[in-house]
Amino acid sequence: MCLIQHLNESSHAKGTARIAQLSLKNLRTIQLGDREPFTPPENDSDFWCNPVLIYPNSENRDIAELVGTSPRPLVVLDGTWRKSKAMLLSSPYLQSLPKYSFETERPSRYRIRKASSPDFLSTLESIVAILETLEGTGNDYAQMLEVMDWMVTTQLGFINSTNP
């Protein structure tokens, strides 16, 4: 899996991608600035053979269709909704990838930033949902969500103590 992260997210104390980066040994991270079009690194052509973009859209194919097929590199965008959309629109390469999305019954546990819709998830929650869909729930990806819960509770404690 490759996480294409907006540059502003990389140093964000409340970002959930860092938990995924520390937890998943095969997660690659590439950072992009504003309006910087993404192109795959030339020295990593094996990974970039036949990737798919996981991006929410009702017209995208369901990621469950990939279960039982040959593994394909997964690309996930990390940024605010506005920034992730801008990253997609500024990159003809990303736009050309087959796009998949997923449905989840789980509401977001990430209560720090306001989501545009109740079914929008944090980057980490999305990664966990993707991996559980493709690999099943026996891999204990939920532990990453427990770390996120601790981070959210801690951050909200700081916020509430400075804004009584």
The predicted model scores a pTM of 0.85
Contacts of residue 109, Cβ cutoff 8 Å, sequence gap at least 6 = 122, 125, 145, 148, 149, 152
Q: Cα 69 to the chain's mean position, in Å? A: 21
pLDDT confidence of residue 72: 92
Torsions phi, psi of 29, nearest 5?
-130, 130
Where are the domains positioned within the chain?
2-162
**Band of pLDDT at residue 110, cut at 50, 70 and 90:** low
Which two structure tokens, joined as six digits, stand for 143? 């532990």
Model confidence at 112: pLDDT above 90 = no
Q: At 74, is the secondary structure helix, strand, or coil?
A: strand
**Band of pLDDT at residue 58, cut at 50, 70 and 90:** confident
**Band of pLDDT at residue 92, cut at 50, 70 and 90:** very high
DSSP state letters, 18-38: HHHHHH-TT-EEEEE-TT---
How far apart (Å, rounded) are the C-alpha atoms in residues 99 and 115?
22
Q: Tell me, what amino acid is at 44?
A: D
Run of H or E including 84? helix 81-89
Average pLDDT value for residue range 7-19 = 80
Model confidence at 39: pLDDT above 70 = yes
Q: Tell me, what amino acid is at 23?
A: S
Output 113 or 132, whichever has higher pLDDT.
132
pLDDT confidence of residue 13: 65
Model confidence at 109: pLDDT above 70 = no
Residue whose token pair is 């097929």: 69
DSSP state letters, 93-147: HHHHS-EEE---SPPP---SSPPSSTT---HHHHHHHHHHHHH-GGG-THHHHHH
